[in-house]
Structure 1
Amino acid sequence: MTVIYRDPDDNTSSVDDPLLPWLRSIKKAVDDPNSAHSNGADLDNLLSNCIKTFKNDGRYRNDVRFLRIWFLYMDCSQDFQSIFRELEQNKICITHSLLYESYALFLEAKGRLTDALMVYQLGISRNAEPLERLKKAHALFRDRMFEIVNACSLEKIDAGDSFGRGESCINPWSISTVKHLLQRMNPQILKYEGYHPSRKVYSGKVALSSLHKSARNKVIEIGGRKYQIKGCAGQGGFAQVFKAYVNSNPDDVVALKIQKPPFPWEFYMYRQLDKRIPDKERSSFGFAHRLHLYSDYSIIVSDYLSHGTLQDAINSNVVIGGFMEEVLCIYYTIEMLSMLETLHSAGLIHGDFKPDNLLIRYAGDDLREDGFRDRTGPWHDQGLCLVDWGRGIDLSLFPEKIKFKGDCRTSGFRCIEMQENMPWTFQVDSYGLCVIVHMMLHNSYMEIEKKASSDGGYVYQPKSSFKRYWQVELWKNLFTKLLNISPSDNHKKLLRNLRESFQDYLCSNPQLIKKLKQLLVKQRTSLCSA
């Protein structure tokens, strides 16, 4: 990796630029093969000392020369992940696209393709400049990924060949794991209603790649149906979601999730939801009608909900400088606890539990005071709907009492176990719930800290304090329990007890239910007019 340095004949002195002598020394060490081969430790020490000297110097926080020194040091180290974390903690060039592009290329060279994708997404989410350059690099990476996935045939793996052959932890999101699972489950997937596989590329008159630039009112033909695109409803690393009219009928609206490279795993997860989630709870988890699988794209046709996401509801308060009312926070906390209780009891994990994956559902009829606790009447149709199952995990496909490794790389949603390189299972979802609750209460992502406990150990708690007029004990109990889950805890019972504690509070006073109804009506009006 080349280090940018100033020419020694320029007019800048080391007094003006203390980094300059270091750059010259580093360049000399890199360029002199004899020095590099005879004593590589000297270069390591030089890089390490340079970083220690200037990492807290504000003059170099946005200096790409200093950034390249970090990457050169990273290239010499086996523990490159901790170096990148330190780089981020010191906020070195975090607004520069070069940081994300360079690290993603570094990870790609090491075969860490999923991690590389997450780095591109992180940089784009932070609007790193120049943003268009980063987006172009991301698009090129996606094309390379597609070629890799397309070239790798799914070799048959004996279903009896268990994961890892004794390996204690598995990354459920690695390419090899997902390929293994899809191969095992392929005979079952072929029988699913709505599954339409093809070995050919998508050959419709309108190229799907053209939808990235301009999609509105374009008509694409899939499986004998025509879909009129009405707008983009969401976008991720590999996929875009569009609102569409079926055969141009505005009364028949669906969501089309178009993904490249093709990815049938999400459809598998939707069919597991159909099988395992009780009918009473099924509307809380989204529904996929069909999957059209081509050699270059996959297209999931699913229900379209038009009322926005929980992220939209949070943002609607942020833009006016306000906060979500606590009664509404409690209601959505109950909804999410109930959702995870149902999901985890069915042996399923969502894996990407974020507010933009929680669509808001509204009842068709007016809500009443009765029926809230047992979710009967109009309350059954009111609530949230969890979508985007691409990171879903089916525990029945893994050995009993399996523990997972792997990092979601989603900024703000990495559970404590991921942050500390510890095994995890349900924590990936329960931590996401805590972050969402924190966002509803504080309008900010959650930061955590270790605090000493009375038994001589420690507990994790959010850094933000609770307002004195809130139901402080309820919130403290929620965060304490979910951020400090023990392997011996009965996870289902824990979620149920937390849910019931919040329900008990709301049901203790009819005026609270009345206020909740009013707030939901107000929220619906606000989001629909936005």
Structure 2
Amino acid sequence: MRTCSDSQPTEHLTSVDGQQTSVAVVGAADEQGEHHLDIVREESGEIAAGADDMVKSDLMFQRMTPVVDTTFYQPPELTDAMLNTTVFIDPSNPFSESVQAKVLRKVDITSYENVEVRKDAMPKLKVGSQVTVSNLTVKLMSKLGVGGFAVAYKAIVTSADRSTSLGKFSMCNTLDSTAFSESDDVCVKAQKPSCPWELYVCKELRQRVSCMDEDIERDIGSKLMDITHSVFFSDGSLMVNELVPLGSLLNLVNSMKANSCKIPESLVMYVTIELLHAVEVMHRCKIIHGDIKPDNILFCGL
């Protein structure tokens, strides 16, 4: 199972410079100051048996104030009053356009392997069109999906010039990009406006994973989206990655529903474990996804 990037994420667990925040709300009260910490316990038939313990527990929780767990990250300028709140907002928002622009100014995206930057406009694309992305020429065969800013095409490689590798070096030395050959099926994502941030995050994540334990790298490396070729025009971008023919989790759910079938519990458990493991590794790399949804989870195999 593979997680892929669809659009810019919108959460605040981590910032791109590696800072991380963990939020934990211990207690909460309504307008009358009454705490409701355990709905299941209140509705349980076992209330009478442990009434005394419950009263003591409620009194204890009423003396507690909401606390923010800053185990991993605590900016030095924070005051005690700010820490004693139910919600903590990281002042460095990695999904802010200004923050992204600041980071990208420090990164030469042409240093990545097989990346080209052009000043002309992106050509108009349609099924049957032939387009060159870096040193890879492909023919668009069909549409895989359409989003608000991008269209994904299934394409076939018509020419792959392996003698020319654009870019100064590969950022993913141990997680080498897929080498395509003629007649290989690939996925081409056409997006307007261009999104160099997506390329940066994908490459940065793979680079950080490559520095982790070998077992983790071997297990998770092949499950991360790898943008192998890309070209950035003045008004848009084209990115190529390996085609995953089994489709997405959304495709599976829709197919099962259409056939009046239920997804086996064992498969649900498998998908959940794989997804949680991928998210755990991303968070250990101090990067978050922020747009995890069924159509962004692709099946590599079962």
1:219 alignment partner in structure 2: 130
Residue 193 of structure 1 is matched in structure 2 by 113
1:333 equivalent in alignment to 2:253: no
Distance of 2:101 and 2:249 partners within structure 1: 32
Equivalent position amino acid for 2:206 in 1: D
- Mapped partners of 1:169, 1:233: distance in 2: 38
| Aligned match of 2:183 | 251
2:287 corresponds in structure 1 to 348
AA at the equivalent of 1:216: V
Shift of 1:230: 0.8
Letter in 2 for 1:183: R
Whether 2:91 is the aligned partner of 1:169: answer yes
TM-score by length of structure 2 reads 0.57
Partner of 1:284: 223
Amino acid at match of 1:233: L
Distance 1:194 1:220, change over 3 A: closer
Q: Distance in 2 between matches of 1:351 and 1:168?
A: 15
Displacement of 1:329 in angstroms is 0.8
Counting helix residues as a fraction of each chain, which structure ranks higher? Answer: 1
Give the SS at the match of 2:299: strand
The residue identity in structure 1 corresponding to 2:103 is L
CA contact (8 A) 1:246 1:252 kept: yes
2:296 equivalent to 1:357:
yes
- TM-aligned CA deviation for residue 243 of structure 1: 0.9
The residue identity in structure 1 corresponding to 2:251 is D
Equivalent-residue separation in structure 1 for 2:135 and 2:229 (angstroms): 13
Match of 2:151 in 1: 240
Please list the CA deviations of residues 55-87 of structure 1 after superposition, one character each: whole Å capped at 9, or x if unmatched. xxxxxxxxxxxxxxxxxxxxxxxxxxxxxxxxx
Instruction: Tell me, in whole angstroms, the C-alpha distance in 2 between the residues paired with 1:268 and 1:180.
Output: 13
Are the structure 2 counterparts of residues 168 and 347 from structure 1 closer, same or farther at C-alpha, using a change threshold of 3 Å?
Answer: closer
Q: 1:265 aligns with which of 184, 192, 197?
A: 197
Alpha-carbon distance between aligned partners in 2 of 1:240 and 1:354, rounded to the nearest angstrom = 17
Residue 202 of structure 2: SS of its match in structure 1? helix
2:133–2:239 CA contact under 8 A, matched in 1: no
SS of 1:216's equivalent in the other structure is coil
User: TM-score by structure 1 length?
Assistant: 0.34
Q: Is the contact made by 2:115 and 2:134 (CA closer than 8 Å) also made in structure 1?
A: no
CA RMSD of aligned residues (A): 2.6
Measure, in 1, the Cα distance between the counterparts of 2:255 and 2:142.
21
Offset of residue 168 of structure 1 = 4.7
2:3 alignment partner in structure 1 = none
Paired position in structure 1 for 2:33: none
Q: d(CA) in 2 for partners of 1:275 and 1:223? A: 21
Q: SS of 1:324's equivalent?
A: coil
Residue ranges of structure 1 left out of the alignment (5+ in a row)? 1-113, 116-162, 363-381, 383-530
Does the aligned pair in 1 maintain the 2:116–2:231 contact within 8 Å?
Answer: yes
Q: Aligned runs of 1:28-43 on 2, under 5 Å?
A: none
Hey, what's the Cα distance between the residues in 2 that align with 1:283 and 1:304? Answer: 13
SS in 2 for 1:247: strand
Give the number of the structure with larger relative contact order, counting CA–CA contacts within 8 Å between residues 6 or more apart: 2
Change (3 A) 1:225 1:168: closer
Structure 1 counterpart of 2:100: 178
Specify the alignment match of 2:141 in structure 1: 230
Q: Report if the CA contact (8 A) 1:273-1:282 is conserved.
A: no
Instruction: Give the Å deviation of 1:322.
Output: 3.0
Does 1:311 find its partner at 2:222? no
Once the 2 structures are TM-superposed, how far is the Cα of residue 190 of structure 1 from its aligned partner? 3.3
> 1:295-330 CA deviation, whole Å, 9 max, x = no partner?
111111111111111111111221123321111111
Aligned residue pair count: 191
Q: Does the Cα contact within 8 Å between 1:171 and 1:177 map onto a contact in 2?
A: yes
On the 8 A contact 2:114/2:134 being kept in 1, the answer is no
**Residues 102-129 of structure 1: per-residue CA shift (max 9 Å, x gap):** xxxxxxxxxxxx99xxxxxxxxxxxxxx
Distance 1:216 1:191 in 2: 31
State the shift of 1:343 in Å: 1.5
Give the counterpart letter for 2:102 in structure 1.
Answer: H
Larger Rg belongs to: 1
